[in-house]
Structure 1
Amino acid sequence: MKTINFPMLLLACLVILMFVGCGVAIALRNVWLIVLFILLGFALMGFGISLKRKKK
């Protein structure tokens, strides 16, 4: 069985939390928080994908 890659797991959880935060911002109807959480979510996702490509 493979070992768990904890840094990538934490990064994936952080990306999920950014999009959950975006949902909360939508519920609060705050445009600035919506934009902030979407940008942070996609930036972290891009960072994770670039780390994965470097690893291979």
Structure 2
Amino acid sequence: MKKLDLPMLLLATLVILMFVLVGVAIALRNIWLILLFIVLGFVFMGYGLSLKRKRK
């Protein structure tokens, strides 16, 4: 069995949390929170993809 890559797992969980929070912000009807969480989600996702590309 492969070793668990904990930092990447936490980063992926953080990205999922950002997009869940977009749903919460939509429920609150707050456009600034919606935009903030969308941007943060894509920033964290891009950072994770760049880390993965550097490893290979």
**Same fold flag (TM > 0.5):** yes
TM-score when normalising by structure 2: 0.99
Distance 1:21 1:37 in 2: 7
Gaps of 5+ in 2: none
The root-mean-square deviation of aligned C-alpha atoms, in Å, is 0.2
Identity %: 73
Aligned length: 56
Gaps of 5+ in 1: none
Shift of 1:30: 0.2
TM-score when normalising by structure 1: 0.99
1:19 aligns with 2:19: yes
Distance 1:15 1:25 in 2: 15
Q: Equivalent residue for 1:5? A: 5
